[in-house]
Amino acid sequence: MKIISYNVNGIRAAIRKGFLNWLVSEDPDIICLQEIKALKEQLDLTLFDQAGYPYHYWFSAQKKGYSGVAILSKIKPIHVEYGTGIESMDYEGRNIRIDFKDFSVMSLYLPSGTNLDRLQHKLEYMDMFQDYINSLRSSFDNLIIAGDYNICHRAIDIHDPIRNKNVSGFLPVEREWMQNFIDSGFIDSFRYFSNAPHSYSWWSYRANSRANNKGWRIDYIMVTNSVKNHLKNSEILNNIFHSDHCPISVELNI
């Protein structure tokens, strides 16, 4: 089974840039999308059926053209959970989960901390999300949380750790939260297979950052420790250009 996570920075813009042709070619079993920036009603849903994904689920922000997550699947889930039930988290459409008999897949879009107010919101969100996951794991053993975490975990995950040490996304408090999240029972699937430096998933549109590979690794597919023996491979697909992010993938023997 192959699962992909992709912050598309606007699903309609990504489609105009060839997203659907790439999706058919890449052929994942499940793809988790973030920052779709669209309501379900604004999309031609038959396009996803035609691409081979008859099961597609959308959880948009209440604010138009902002945030939002989705999951497209070739396999019919037994349950779909829209949001977390926590209003301050769900207002911006940042979490959706599909459940199968033996595992669950979540698409997550953590907030960014672009200013002091948003940073405070992000930190509160992170704490609430950890509590939510701790509670969820009492019912779900094999959990895959794929998405844009908006945090670089280690210095190896950012092109300039010295100059960015006081920038949201690489703040000590954010990095500590990420480590604690992993220590609570998760595996960073990409780092499970590779400690390669200069492996990034997001690049600023400014200063020719992507061409110069001045990026950040802020997209992750985290899996619970119980999934460890099922891990087969994990990659960053940095040659895909529909967004300022690139897709990431994990393959599992499930």
Q: 148 catalytic, yes or no?
A: yes
Contacting residues for 120 by C-beta, under 8 A, at least 6 apart: none
What's the maximum distance between 2 C-alpha atoms anywhere in the chain? 47
Options 148, 157, 188, 219, the catalytic residue: 148
Exposure of 157 in the CB half-sphere (CA atoms within 13 A): 23
Which residues have a Cβ under 8 Å from the Cβ of 44 and sit 6 or more positions away? none
The whole-angstrom separation of Cα 30 and Cα 24 is 12
CB 143 within 8 A of CB 103: yes
What letter does residue 231 receive in the DSSP assignment?
A: E
Phi, psi (rounded to 5 degrees) for 16: -65, -25
Neighbours of 250 (CB within 10 A): 28
d(CA 11, CA 84): 23
Both tokens of 216, joined, read 């950040």
Instruction: Report d(CA 102, CA 172) in Å as an integer.
Output: 36
Question: Hey, which residues are catalytic here?
Answer: 148
